[in-house]
Amino acid sequence: MTSKVTTEVLEKGTKQTKTILQIPQKQKSKIYYNKKAESEFFVDNSALAGFTGERILYMSVRELIENSLDSCEINHILPVIQLSLKLLDPLNDLWTISCKDNGIGIPSDKVPVAVCSFLTSGKYVEKQQRGLFGVGLKMIAAFSTKDTDHPLKVWSKSEEESEYYFDLRTDIGTNKPITLFKKSVKNDESQIEGESGFKVEAILRAKLSPVTKNKIYDYISQTSIVNPYAIIIFETDEGKVTFKRRTQIMPNPSREVLPHPSDMDLKTLKKAIFNFMNQKTTLQGILSNSFQKMSNDKAKDIINRAGLTVKPADQYDEHELIKVVNICKHTKFQSPNTDHLSPIGEKILTVGMTSEYSIILNKETSTSGSQTHLSAKILKPSLTAYSSRICIVNNRPTIVECGIAYGGDIPSFKLYRFANKIPLLYDEGSDVAREVISEVGINKMGISKKDVKEQFSNVETRSDRTVEYLPIHIFFHICSTKIPYKTAGKESIASEGDLKKYMKSCLSDLYRKVSAQIRRELKIKEDENKLRLYKHYIPFIVNAISESIKIDSKKLSKAFQNLAEKYVSGELSNIAKQIFPDSDHKRVEPGNKKNTVNNDNGNENKLSKFDTRSSVSVSKQSNKIKPAKINIPHKITKK
Amino acid sequence: MALKDKRHQEITNKIRKIMKNVGDDILVEGIMPSLEIPKVGYDNTVWSDEKRMLTIGEKTVQVGPNSSKKIPTFAQYLVMANAIRKLLDEEMESTIRGMYYATLSTVGDENNQQKFWNGQDDSDDAIKAIELLTNVPREEFSVTSKPKGMISGPITLSVGGDLIDCNLGSRATSQLIPTNIRDLEIVKVKADFVMVVEKDTVLNNIRKSGFIQKYNAILLTGSGEPDRATRMMVKMLNEKWKMPVVIFADADPWGLGIALRYKIGSESLSYDSDRLVTPNSKVLGMMFSDIYEYNIPKVARLAATPEDLNRANDMKKKPWLQDKRWKKELNLFLERKEKCELDAFFKYGFKYLADTYLPNKLREAGVI
């Protein structure tokens, strides 16, 4: 974690006591009561932090990028992140992972603990943050120490300090950093170009399956969607991809916020009192200063209702304090603030959606075997839309953001989920966003499954939902000080409180916004299909006619093509021109469309077709064509 | 041959007229062409009290190249019409399968290639459309299907001048009923009545038993769903040669449907009933009630499938099946949910069907 470090926590954490209790002789076996160091605990239970065999490299990439983004955004620095993942030793599955950013860096005296000591974090506050637990970077350090003899290399440059270089390892048994080497670096040796920054390089023993590798690619490209203001340079053995900065706008950083009184418990209350220890403040003062939506009067009222006598705040015992907590649970407070949250925002998400990078793997086969090359392609949709809702979920202010990108380069349906700007890539099936998509039908917006299937018949989807046949990307972002994750792996969000309701209304909003355009595009596609059909079938029809009767087949074919164009045109003249490039196509005024187009009633319609306005273009044509000789062997009267 | 040529010319002129109209619509009038075709199906099938058969109603459909679905259909119809014209001009004949092959093609470019026909059903439909458009049955286009109807008994046919005696002494085989009906003539009939059965297996059993000789009957089968030639043969024997016609089919909704094809016609060929339907024929069996009257053993009865039940319910609703006798039979079936094939009588011995059941039924109906 690259943020500032609180030394207090560190000291507590490193006090290691080992007490061995001997159980009375009655029992034969002895039970030893040990205290485990945090580092040892997390290494033994690495799954808690998501570091399971397959996912070690994926989680490392994730943690490093998230730390870097947090470290930049905290001081409103436009991020430049360079991530590299390379195979060092294929025999022993050793990988070098390195990440460099231009964030605020870490003061040199705090670097060792910030990198190596578990549960040391600048993020232990009530605030919307990517990481929270002070575990990620430590996990990388511990794994590197555990599995290799390489030190962790760290370069850090924080404000008003020169750049320092460290060789670090973790003492897993004590949760203490081991500084093998430390020096101030200058000029040539300098790794950090800007005013501040942080770089870490670690050697990890891990296996990388193709599935996980794709997840890493997905993770980075999805991160770039919600962070279009960041430059992300990603390098692997397969090549280098640069996600360019597409906007200078950065979201306002999230701010720390006082807890809401509905969330009060004995621990938070005692902590609040502890914080005011040295100031002579009453309980009433502490309450109104430590919790949001708690006025002085309200605090007084609560203390009265709890029946507590006035005395110095630190004199209350737990039996008295729990009364305050209980009263608060039964008191109505205003809804919590939301202005401290940092949503992606319409502007930024729209930039992200309109310039979505997709990583492409090009397989090249040469004499030396097949090689894959990384490259990136920007998908430009034909339209995007954005909608958001502010709501309260489990007493925590939550902002739901939803975006849609449709058409253009987008090939097929995909759901993107983000929680506090982190892409969620696993367990999509059990995520609330999935339920939302199933429960909000796009069919109600006049987009029928039949039409969609007809136009996108080549789309392969396991689902039979209309929307999944469309070339559409749906984005959900939930931001909150506490995301209701379903599992410890933090990969899917549970449907808690009204969250689903708000997500559904967001999506309905968007469907309403884009449905008219989608209908229009479907119509255009249908028209294109129709023109293609005409192009393909007119020769058959013309051939059948010209073999049966004497007729100028070229003229017939041309006239038929003109007719077909006119029939489809109305809204579509330019596409018609592409398909029939050499035709002297004339666009029919939209007002006349119905008269020239509708031919469902056959004979009866023929009379009405020559109304005065549409006859301009039509009659010219018949004049032009009349001289053509049509010889019919036998005198035949019309139908 | 001269007469034939004239008829062929009439038909090809009809096709040319269609082509001319389409060409004129495009070239002269500058409008989307459209073919008006009588609608075929339940909602355009009308019962005629006078003719005592199903006839086609007044409804029509417009097929023009004006929707994604109809562009291919329109092209298919014109291509088929042109193929029929060629066939007639060349004085050739073809089966419906032959027409499918003659018009096979692919549509589109490399990126978007499709088959012109999705299957023979498509080309069969196109042939039907040309029949409806020209009001000419396809046999007159020289387009036929593979023969599958069979006939046995004291009747002599002439096929293109070759005489075929169907009264084969051996009892061992039957004659196929030719489908090129324009070449077919009935020369001589020396029977007392005509008996139509649903399946060839049953016909073989009856023939082998000496039924033909004993009762002086002509035996006929369509081998399931009868083709047009078989239906026309039945009609001709009944109306031109004054033969009483009786029909036996299995006691299931499918069999009843087949029996009724001969007697009242069908929805899908309602436009051709005048040529195909024999209203004077009598459907004698096998009735659902026969299952119980003849006490067919349980093992020989079959359980009705959901499809059977749907079909029976559908039939009950048809306005032309409101006759008390049919209602009673269908209700019995829907109640007992049991069906039975004519072959079930074999359980009582191989000769029981021909020696006992059929004579009983014929006697009841006063045919023998």
CA distance B109 to chain A (A): 8
By CB atoms closer than 10 A (0-12, 13-18, 19+), residue B36 is middle
- The verdict on a CB contact (< 8 Å) between A632 and B107 is no
Q: Could you tell me if A397 and A258 are in contact, meaning their C-beta atoms sit under 8 angstroms apart?
A: no
From the candidates A455, A522, A542, A549, which should be mutated to test the interface with B, based on the most B CB atoms within 10 A? A549
Residue B317 lies in a domain: yes
Closest Cβ–Cβ partner in B20, B64, B78 for A599: B64
Residue B250 and residue B327 in one domain:
yes
Q: CA nearest B21 in A: which residue?
A: A638
Statement to judge: residues B353 and B209 lie in one domain: yes
Kindly list the structural domains of chain A, giving each domain's residue range(s) and its CATH number in brackets, ordered by start.
Answer: 7-208 (3.30.565.10), 261-329 (1.10.8), 346-521 (3.30.230.10), 549-625 (no CATH)
> If you average pLDDT over every residue of chain B, what do you get?
91
Give A-chain residues touching B134 at CB under 8 angstroms: none
Residues with Cβ within 8 Å of residue A191, at least 6 apart in sequence: A100, A155, A163, A165, A185, A199
Asked if residue B58 belongs to a domain, the reply is no
Residues in A touching B108 (Cβ below 8 Å): 532, 536
pLDDT at B243 over 90: yes
Question: From CA A341, how far away is CA A349, in angstroms rounded?
Answer: 16
Q: Tally the domains of chain B.
A: 2
Q: Are B37 and B132 in contact (CB under 8 A)?
A: yes
Does some domain include residue B38? no
CB contact under 8 A, B30 and A621: yes
* Predicted pLDDT at A44: 83
Residue B338 and residue B196 share a domain: yes
Contacts of A128 (CB under 8 A, 6+ apart): A254, A340, A341, A342, A420, A479, A480, A481
Q: What is the phi/psi pair of residue A437, to 5°?
A: -65, -35
How far is the alpha carbon of A579 from chain B, nearest alpha carbon, in Å?
13
Q: Which of A540, A560, A634 sits opposite B26 (nearest CB)?
A: A560
CB contact under 8 A, A541 and B22: yes
Per-residue confidence (pLDDT) for residue A129, from 0 to 100: 64
Nearest to B23 among A530, A537, A545 (CB): A545
Q: Does any CB of chain B come closer than 8 Å to the CB of residue A563?
A: yes
Q: Provide the pLDDT for residue A125.
A: 59
Chain B residue numbers touching A544 (CB-CB < 8 A): 19, 75, 78-79, 81-82
Answer whether A536 sits within 8 Å of B17, measured CB to CB: no
How does residue B245 score in pLDDT terms, banded at 50, 70 and 90? very high
- Bridge pairing between strands B143-144 and B94-95: parallel
Whether residues B20 and A636 touch (CB distance < 8 A) is answered with yes
Evaluate whether residue B50 is within a structural domain: no
| Among B81, B109, B144, residue at a domain's last position | B144
| B352 among known catalytic residues | no
Residues B16, B132 within the same domain: yes
DSSP 8-state class, residue A493: B
Q: Which of A605, A619, A639 to mutate to test the interface with B (most CBs of B within 10 A)?
A: A639
Residue B18, domain extent:
2-33+64-144
More confident residue, A294 or B276: B276
Give me the DSSP letters along A365-433. EETTEEEEEEEEEEE--SEEEEEEEEEEETTEEEEEEEEEEESTT--S-EEEEEETTEEE-S-GGGSHH
For B:248-267, CB contacts with A below 8 A are none
Task: Say yes or no: B120 and B205 in one domain.
Answer: no
Most A CBs within 10 A among B11, B19, B85, hence the mutation to make, goes to: B19
B89 touching A (Cβ < 8 Å): no
State whether residue A529 sits within 8 Å of chain B by CB. Answer: yes
| B242 and B303 co-located in one domain | yes
Whether residues A548 and B36 touch (CB distance < 8 A) is answered with no
- Strand B302-303 and strand B338-339: pairing? antiparallel
Mutation target for A interface from B8, B14, B26: give the one with most A CBs within 10 A: B26
What does the DSSP 8-state code read for residue B116? S
- Looking at the fold, whether B237 and B140 belong to one and the same domain comes out as no
Q: Which regions in chain A score pLDDT beneath 50? A: 1-19, 571-639
| Whether residue B250 is found in the same domain as residue B350 | yes
DSSP character string of A283-351: HHHHHHHHSTT--HHHHHHHHHHTTPPP--GGG--HHHHHHHHHHHHTS--PPPP-TT-----HHHHHH
Query: Which residue of chain B has the CA closest to A603?
Result: B34
Catalytic residue among B42, B100, B101, B352: B101
pLDDT at residue B87 greater than cutoff 60: yes
Q: Does A533 touch chain B (CB under 8 A)?
A: yes
Phi, psi of A317 (to 5 degrees): -95, 175
Residue B98 and residue B233 in one domain: no
| Chain A contacts in chain B segment 47-66 (CB below 8 A) | 62, 64-66
The distance of A421 to chain B (nearest Cα, Å) reads 41
Query: Does B344 lie in the same domain as B199?
Result: yes
For residue B248, the domain's CATH number is 3.40.1360.10
- Same domain, yes or no, for B138 and B283? no
Of residues B164, B193, B179, B252, the one with CA closest to residue B222: B179
Cβ of residue A557 closer than 8 Å to a chain B Cβ: no
The shortest C-alpha distance from B178 to chain A (Å) reads 30
Q: Which of A532, A559, A638 sits opposite B21 (nearest CB)?
A: A638
Instruction: Decide if A178 touches B, using CB distance below 8 A.
Output: no
Residue B184 lies in a domain: no
Residue B57 lies in a domain: no
A237 close to A86: Cβ distance less than 8 angstroms: yes
Identify the pLDDT of residue A46: 80
Q: What's the gap in Å between the CA of A572 and the closest CA on chain B? A: 16
Domain assignment present for residue B153? The answer is: no
- Which member of A537, A599, A626 has the closest CB to residue B31? A599
At position B75, the amino acid (one-letter code) is A
**Mutation target vs B (from A534, A540, A552, A555; most B CBs, 10 A cutoff):** A540
B161, part of any domain: no
Whether A374 and chain B come into contact, CB under 8 Å, resolves to no
Instruction: Using the 3D structure, point to which of B144, B169, B203 is the last residue of a domain.
Output: B144
**B49-to-A608, B41, B279, B319 alpha-carbon distances in Å:** 40, 19, 11, 12
Residue in B with minimal Cα distance to A536: B108
Residue environment code for B120-130, b if the CB has 16+ CB neighbours within 10 A, otherwise e:
eebbbebbbbb
Give the C-alpha distances (Å, rounded to integers) separating A525 from A457, A521, A598, B298. 12, 6, 19, 60
* Same domain, residue pair B253 and B135: no
Q: Which residues of A touch B105 (CB under 8 A)?
A: 540
Q: CATH no. for residue B104?
A: 1.10.10.10
Instruction: Specify the pLDDT at position A313.
Output: 79
pLDDT of residue A132: 54
CB atoms B20 and A632 under 8 Å: yes
Q: Is A530 on the interface with B (CB under 8 A)?
A: yes
Instruction: Answer left, alpha or beta for residue A197, where phi above 0 means left and psi between -120 and 50 means alpha.
Output: left
Closest-CA distance of chain A to residue B36, Å = 8
